[in-house]
A and B are shown apart, each in its own frame.
Chain A
Amino acid sequence: MDLVAPTTPTLPATVPQVQARRSPFVAAVLGWLMPGFAQLYVGRPGKALLMLVAIGSLFYAGLALTGFTCVNPQAYSLEFAAHALLGGPTAAAYHLTQGIELAEPMPWFEAGRLYAAVAGLLNVVAICDALGDVIDHNRKVAGQMVIRQRFVLEREAEMARALEATQEREARELAAADAARMADETALLFGATAFSEPGLETLSDGPAAETAPTEQDDDLGRDDAGRSDAGRSDAGSSEPSSDGPSDEPTDEGRIG
């Protein structure tokens, strides 16, 4: 009988994958550095491009309409607070436009100041939108982690049940193999004993019992007759034998 080799069940390859969590802080910093980068970090490139175009073009238009002089914390401190909400472009404009003086007043100067300030405020809206997306993403990741954990637990329980069933089957097969081997050994031993002991041969139902009596059988019959005589004498002295009545013909008589 072939025994099944013990197998170690492994997790299937279909374990639900969990996306990486995203940091709201990183999203806010990226969105502050450049409009649209927060959306890019969240994984929305289309919206990132839209934010970059809308806010960036408005900020650049504001700079252009003011002759690149509106980012000036000394002259326009309140507007600079709004500009500071757009960190990267404001820092770049501040360092690149220092020392620029307007030779003549610009016709749309006030509109330019408004544009640049509104761009900074709109960047706050864009950052908040990215933070909302980060929260939604992390919530989805948490759901995926719960699903994956449940999946892994179910698979582990299933594997434990399969392993237990395999061990039980192997134990049953081992027990059956042992029983079969013991039966074979017993049969061999019993057969050898039956064929080696002359007295058991006559009792067996095998073909040896149906063969014609030989000289050895005659000797055995005499021995049996002697034993029966002894039994008869014993029976006379004590209670009768359960083999039958005492006047039953013995083997000696049959053989004789």
Chain B
Amino acid sequence: MSWSDLIWLPPVMIAVAMVLGATGRHGAREVTRSIVHTFIALTLGVVIVGLVIHVVAQVFA
């Protein structure tokens, strides 16, 4: 398991952030800001969940 194995994740996160961030928003500035916030939140969520899974795997390994 290496970091290169997670390279498939950013494209999905970007696409999800673009769609979810633009949903319910109007205006280019508001949409852009919402996409950035969504992407940050998604990244943090993925990182936190990944760390939790890694720790749990280390503990119970």
Contacts and interface: CB of A to CB of B under 8 A. Distances in A.
- A contact patch SS: helix
Contacts of A54: 14-15, 18-19
Contacts of A132: 24
Interface string A104-133: 000010010011001100100110110010
A57 interface: yes
A75 to B, nearest CB: 21
Contacts of A57: 15
Contact of B24 (A53, A55, A61, A129): A129
Interface stretch (A43-51, A80-88, A222-230, A233-241): A43-51
Nearest to B23: A129
A50 B12 contact: no
Nearest to A129: B23
Given A50-B18, A51-B22, 19 more contacts: A47-B31, A51-B19, A54-B15, A54-B18, A54-B19, A55-B15, A58-B12, A58-B15, A108-B8, A111-B8, A114-B12, A115-B11, A118-B15, A122-B16, A125-B19, A125-B23, A126-B23, A128-B23, A129-B22
Contacts of A111: 8
B36 interface: no
Given A46-B28, A50-B31, A132-B24, A122 B8 contact: no
Decide if the interface of chain B is mainly helix, strand, loop or mixed: helix
Interface string B33-55: 00000000000000000000000
B19 A55 contact: yes
Contacts of A118: 12, 15-16
Interface residues of A, number: 23
Contacts of A44: 26
Nearest to A44: B26
B49 to A, nearest CB: 16
29 contacts: A44-B26, A46-B31, A47-B22, A50-B22, A50-B31, A51-B19, A51-B22, A54-B14, A54-B15, A54-B19, A58-B12, A61-B11, A108-B8, A111-B8, A114-B8, A114-B12, A115-B11, A118-B12, A118-B15, A118-B16, A119-B15, A122-B15, A122-B19, A125-B20, A125-B23, A126-B19, A128-B23, A129-B22, A132-B24
